[in-house]
Structure 1
Amino acid sequence: MREIRVYTDQPLATGTEVALDDSAARHLGAVLRLQAGAPVTLFNGQGGEYRATLSACNAKRASAQVGEFVAIERESPLHIHLGIGLSRGDRMDWVLQKATEAGVSEITPLYTERTEVKLKGDRSDKKQRHWQQICASACEQSLRNRLPLLHAPTPLEQWLPRLQVDQRLVLHHRSDRTLSQLRSLQVDSVALLIGPEGGLSDREIDAALLTHFVSLRLGPRVFRTETAPIVAISVLQSLWGDFL
């Protein structure tokens, strides 16, 4: 039987009982049809995980008895901060899910000149909660115990000067430089900038270069905005992270 992992945003301690949220109850009780006594693994994003046993479980309510703590870490040694232009539809959801699975440490959705999505007020808060849940579910699936830090949507010009990383990279399909040319560098942290549909404007590329970004391409083909970050993150993890 596969391991059932549940993220919960609350303190966890061996010997205590915790109530799980409504979405977890629906998934465990209605989708997986688990019953009281079933084993699960709980984590709260603070590192490590807990063996646990469901003490109650149905489609409306679930709780678990917290057992042994397991101090296991599965985070990449490479800290990747992904800055990605906001996209329409479910493209952004897909990027957040796959980037989390691939091991990014931070994600900042960006407003750029060609961004067509505008989020304000309650809509922005609702979208942020939705994205946070996507990241949490991706961590459950991929065995991560720490959620990536998900920042609120930010204008590109505000994001660029704030970064504290070893290497800054911006994807630009007309660049002559490739990631393989950076292989000899020793890098522990990297910022990766990728534009929305239509890409970054020339002005935005120039602004990135002025803040010490290096432009590069992934190869002879041009990827969609939801595909490019996953390809780039995979290469970065192969160069400096934990992809073997």
Structure 2
Amino acid sequence: MARIYLAEAHRVGDTVALEDAAFRHVARVLRMRVGDQLTVFNGKGSEFTARITQIERHAAYITLEAQREGNTESPLHSTLLQAVGKGERMDWALQKATELGISAIQPVLTARCNVKLDTERWAKKQAHWQGVLIAACEQSGRLRIPDLHPVARLDAVLNLCEAALRLVLAPQSGSAPIDAVSAIDSVALLVGPEGGLNEQEIQRAEAAGFRSWQIGPRTLRTETAPMVALALLQQRFGDYGPPSV
């Protein structure tokens, strides 16, 4: 069943006009018709079954028929501090982090970030990333959209993290700090850009309470590293079960 995002909270019985992007997806991509059923969610925890009641040339209307219960949010509150990468690399990192249950995302600028934009283009980039998160929630069945914070310099956000466990991915660190932790309910994960974090940035992160973590013997790309790390964290502390034998 098609699943789409509605920005506002609604109740059973409401008839709602689809927003432009949702209308195009439902009417022109999926070619749905009056009477077809779909699922809608508001990104704040509510999900409904709905039915298309009217389609016009530039608009479509749905009626919410029943509220649905879901349990797709992880008990582990996780924040990703992701160094801004070029083009699709950042999109990929945010998309997969959302699928893996991330709670909040803080894009950060580091010494080796190669993305330099003016204020207007950063605003457009932020709106684009928000769309990536929404699409990932539509696909993965999540009920809540991760919080997306404005881009900030790394030094400005390091000391704001209050997670029970704070980790910075650092190849060649040789440490596995999650092995020594029995149970936590929150984690912050810092991932560097294509060129990695420099030594001074890692030291500043450690001074702010982050623990260096080498997640394997191979160096991963900036878009791959958070996906692997978050999967391991969800398995250990979240809602992924232990591997079957």
Of 20, 26, 31, which residue of structure 2 is paired with 1:28? 26
1:233 to 225, 230, 233: 230
Post-superposition Cα deviations, 1:69-93, rounded to whole Å, max 9, x if no partner, equal 1232310011110001000111101
Report runs of 4+ in structure 1 exceeding 6 Å deviation. none
The question of whether the paired residues in 2 share the 8 Å contact of 1:79 and 1:104 is answered with yes
Summarize the Cα distance change of 1:228–1:43 in structure 2 as closer, same or farther, 3 Å threshold.
Answer: same
| Larger deviation, residues 23-32 vs 48-57 | 48-57
Residue in 2 aligned with 1:19? 17
1:29–1:58: 8 Å Cα contact kept in structure 2? Answer: no
Counterparts in 2 of 1:68 and 1:109: CA distance versus 1, 3 Å? same
Q: Distance in 2 between matches of 1:14 and 1:166?
A: 39
Match of 1:153 in 2: 151
TM-score by length of structure 2 reads: 0.95
1:57-76 matches, within 5 Å, as 57=55, 60-76=58-74
The structure-2 alpha-carbon separation of the partners of 1:212 and 1:219, relative to structure 1 and needing over 3 Å to count, comes to: same
Is the 1:25–1:58 Cα contact (8 Å) retained in structure 2? no
Bigger shift: residues 13-22 or 120-129: 120-129
Q: Determine the C-alpha separation between the residues in 2 that align with 1:155 and 1:193.
A: 13
**Is the alpha carbon distance of 1:58 and 1:193 closer, same or farther for their aligned partners in structure 2, counting shifts above 3 Å?**
farther
1:208 counterpart residue number: 205
User: Which whole-Å CA distance do the structure 2 matches of 1:59 and 1:117 have between them?
Assistant: 40
| Helix, strand or coil at the partner of 2:189 | strand
Equivalent residue, structure 2, for 1:130: 128
Q: What is aligned with 2:167?
A: 169
Specify the alignment match of 2:93 in structure 1: 95
1:80–1:176 CA distance, 2 compared to 1 (3 A): same
2:37 is aligned to 39
Contact 1:17-1:64 at 8 Å conserved across structures: yes
Q: Distance in 1 between matches of 2:56 and 2:175?
A: 55
Q: Which amino acid aligns with 2:61?
A: S
Matched residue of 1:84: which SS?
strand
Q: Which runs of 5+ in 1 are unaligned?
A: none
**Match for residue 186 of structure 2?**
189
CA contact (8 A) 2:168 2:211 kept: yes
Q: What SS does structure 2 have at the residue aligned with 1:177?
A: coil
2:221 to 212, 221, 224: 224
Alpha-carbon distance between aligned partners in 1 of 2:85 and 2:79, rounded to the nearest angstrom = 18
Call closer, same or farther: CA 1:66–1:84 in 2, change over 3 Å: same
Distance 2:39 2:12 in 1: 12
Query: Could you tell me which residue of structure 1 aligns to residue 46 of structure 2?
Result: 48
Q: Distance in 2 between matches of 1:164 and 1:71?
A: 31
Partner Cα distance (2:57, 2:217) in 1: 50
Matched letter for residue 226 of structure 2: P
Q: Deviations over 1:28-58 (max 9, x none)?
A: 1111110111101111111130111011236
1:120 aligns with 2:95: no
Q: 1:156 to 1:68 in 2, by over 3 A?
A: same
Distance 1:230 1:151 in 2: 19
Write the distance in 2 (CA, Å) between the matches of 1:225 and 1:117. 14
The TM-score with structure 1 as length reference comes to 0.95
Structure 2 CA distance for partners of 1:27 and 1:63, relative to 1, 3 Å: same
Structure 1: how far apart are the matches of 2:129 and 2:55? 26
Q: Structure 2: how far apart are the matches of 1:197 and 1:125?
A: 22
